[in-house]
Amino acid sequence: MHTVSDLKNNISFEDFKTEVLNDYKIAVKSRECSLLGRREVLTGKAKFGIFGDGKEVPQLAMAKAFKKGDWRSGYYRDQTFMMAIDELTAEQFFAGLYANTNLELEPMSAGRQMGGHFVTHSLNNDGSWKDLTKKYNSSADISPTAGQMPRLLGLAQASKIFRNVEGINTSNFSVNGNEVAWGTIGNASTSEGLFFETINAAGVLQVPLIVSVWDDEYGISVHAKHQTTKENISEILKGFQRNEDQKGFEILRVHGWNYPNLVETYQEAAHIARTEHVPVLIHVTELTQPQGHSTSGSHERYKSAERLAWESALDCNVKMREWIIENGIATNETLIEIERAIKREVREAKKNAWNIFLKPVLKEQSDMISVLKQVAAASVNRVFIEKIKDNLAAIEEPTRKDILSHGRRALIHTINESFPEKEQLINWINNRIEAIQPEFSSHLYSETNRSNTLIKEIKPTYNEESPLVDGRIILRDNFDNIFSNYPEVLIFGEDTGNIGDVNQGLEGLQEKYGELRVADVGIREATIIGQGIGMSLRGLRPIAEIQYLDYILYALQIISDDLATTHYRTKGKQKAPLIIRTRGHRLEGIWHSGSQMGGILHLTRGVNVLVPRNMTKAAGFYNTLLKGDDPAIVIECLNGYRLKEKMPYNLNAIQTPIGVVETLKEGTDITLVSYGSTLRIVEQVAKDLLTVDINAEVIDVQSLMPFDLNHDIAKSIKKTNRLLIIDEDVPGGASAYILNNILNVQNAYQYLDSQPKTLTAKDHRPAYGNDGDYFSKPSADDIFEAVYGIMHESNPDVFPKLR
């Protein structure tokens, strides 16, 4: 049970004893879960185990200072903390270890993540927000080392925004910005750049953030002397320590086995962060790892006998037990009784979790055996099917894979037969796959009525007085409308604030809306994205600007591992509808080529990737995204900011649909598919092709993820029977992704009379200058000749060879 206490004042000795013993019970329960959990992995019931043993007591102290409304962004060993705030039971712990796909039984991820990764539920079943101010909150953990740090920054910054920006409806999200964001990390992971980037950014932003470094001196088998200068992270971070003249961090140190000092330290840290809104680092030293890093190996291989003896003596649970007896809180006999009772409780929880997990699987096994028995009786291959049935029956603790695999193998033996029992087997297999597959595949995107793909298109309208303006003006005025109508929206990035971004798409908006809503940040792409993730988890609608598409590589790991998986790995119980704004396409030179599209598409499933051809389309995307729940990357065309566009009469209302293509030119001879800046070249070539009697249909993809949900490209190919995809990405990149969708999802191969082709950039990135671009990416000449070549192959008499 979670308690917030003062161990020195306003509490009777009896109450004090009760609280301490309650904490000790949680520590013992957590340790017993770790010990039994390791055994379950080694016996094969669970696949892998990484546990929080050795970190129990400091996590109890952290839980005491953690208040409702606060947020955790943690390390995958914080099971004791989660138990202390009543968000994890022993039975749920084992359900996670067994990867139970029932969210009610395994609320941390419904079996989508290994044990040790924790979360609390922020959303109701319809996707609406719970009241986060009245509950303890934990953002969903990820495994990548230090990957939790950028998100932590955003969780803390949200409190600063809620406290200082007027007009935001803070119901369900904040009480005067008093919430603290708590981060945890292993000492070895502080070697990661993400840790240092976050520490620096938090010091600059001055946000209420507390980072606990659990220091057991090892990173798997590698000692701290190989990890950290001076073998001491707080020592080398002394330059971040605040003083009377300079802002920075408050840095505290405490031994991880000293229960009263830990409680006092965490209360002090919480007071500083909560009242002064400054970041705090707590370096928790002299911790141990009794079972080693994980079930993948034994720490006896790399720790000396002296170190192992030291760890046994300094085990935080052992030291807390000694302190309890020394201070007359309980006798040894009383503690033995407590420990025995808890061991029985945990063993029973393990047993219950396993039986509940296995029960429906055993029922399916029984059903499959019954079906196979009937199939065998009716088949000429009875002997083979009987053997498969018997093999399945011999498995005492089957998996669903075992059951379905045996059924599918049996089906092979009936290929040339037809009888009712075979149909029964086919139906059973199909029905089970259809029922079970969503348990592993659902919620990559929102499945509520706030899915981005459900937001309907509102086309721009014009009148005779609609002026021609630079594309950047359309963006600027649309952002102005957004900031006026959505007080929870803020944008931040490199050069975003004072100068209104490098292309003046935000010109004058910082002066109008303030430095917190239109903000400049340092050169630190990973934590720019982290700011956005954390704030969106708390109900704000951030737009994180990455100056150029190429720079997104610095943040790609965070986008891929954290943002793209948030909704999926929580099975719809958390959402992070972050909008990432960037710019690319048709640039000159290696570093501004926009040739990362294929990598982005393959690494960011779970995020919409939108490629508007002009700024009106881009403005419409931003308007659409703010009405939906899915995160997105909007890639504006860098060479479109100064191109003239008509100013829509209904600018603030336009909505560009997501997952919908647009046909820009009707045609009958060939379908040309492209996106972004390259599309303007394709449009011009389509006009040139008319001079040689080739009538091309031109389609703007608009949205790469999701892709053409209405299958309009297949409908076009059915008419033209030919396809050319033009893409500035490298071969096998976005063009391969587009082609795969057209052929394997839309099944457009059946309409083709010619080989579908792609015209892409070269394998390398473009060299600098106009000639570099011409010889590296598809030019108008390349496109014309590629189309003509397809037509020549089809009808060489009408279209003789060009060159």
Catalytic positions: 592
Nearest to 33 by CA among 317, 259, 311: 317
Phi, psi (rounded to 5 degrees) for 73: -130, 100
Q: Which two tokens stand for residue 113?
A: 């993540």
What CA–CA distance (Å, rounded) separates 44 from 295? 11
Locate the DSSP E strands across 196-270.
209-214, 218-219, 222-223, 250-255
DSSP character at residue 379: S
Q: Residue 581: which H helix or E strand, with range? A: strand 579-584
- Determine the angle formed by the axes of helices 13-42 and 90-97, rounding to 10 degrees: 20
Task: Calculate the CA dihedral of residues 623, 624, 630, 635 and round it to 10 degrees.
Answer: -70
Q: Is 357 helix (H, G, I), strand (E, B) or coil?
A: helix
- The answer to whether 116 and 50 have CB atoms below 8 angstroms apart is yes
Q: Is 703 helix (H, G, I), strand (E, B) or coil?
A: strand
Q: Which two tokens stand for residue 202?
A: 């938090």
Q: At a CB cut-off of 8 Å and minimum separation 6, what does 499 contact? A: none
What CA–CA distance (Å, rounded) separates 738 from 735? 5
Number of H helices, E strands in the chain: 26, 22
H helices of 608-695, where?
615-625, 678-689
SS (HEC) of 726-764: ECCCCCCCHHHHHHHHHHHHCCHHHHCCCCCEEECCCCC
Q: Which two tokens stand for residue 519?
A: 């903000």
Q: State the chain's maximal CA–CA distance in angstroms.
A: 102
Phi, psi (rounded to 5 degrees) for 274: -75, -40
What CA–CA distance (Å, rounded) separates 426 from 424? 5
What is the separation, in whole angstroms, between the first and last Cα of the chain?
A: 80
What CA–CA distance (Å, rounded) separates 93 from 518? 43
- The answer to whether 472 and 505 have CB atoms below 8 angstroms apart is yes
Distances (CA, A) of 535 to 150, 490, 561, 756: 11, 10, 17, 44
What DSSP string describes 712-723? HHHHHHHHH--E
Phi, psi (rounded to 5 degrees) for 181: -100, 125
Neighbours of 13 (CB within 10 A): 9
Question: Amino acid identity, residue 96?
Answer: G
What DSSP string describes 324-344? HHHTTSS-HHHHHHHHHHHHH
Phi, psi (rounded to 5 degrees) for 593: -100, -15
DSSP character at residue 140: P
Query: 380-383 long-range contacts, Cβ below 8 Å, gap at least 24?
Result: 380/417, 381/413, 381/414, 381/417
ω into residue 706 within 30 of 0, thus cis? Answer: yes
Q: Is 181 helix (H, G, I), strand (E, B) or coil?
A: strand
Q: Residue 567: which H helix or E strand, with range? A: helix 566-569
What CA–CA distance (Å, rounded) separates 227 from 237? 14
DSSP character at residue 464: T
What DSSP string describes 184-206? EEETGGGGSHHHHHHHHHHHHHT
- For tokens 């079943």, the residue is 125
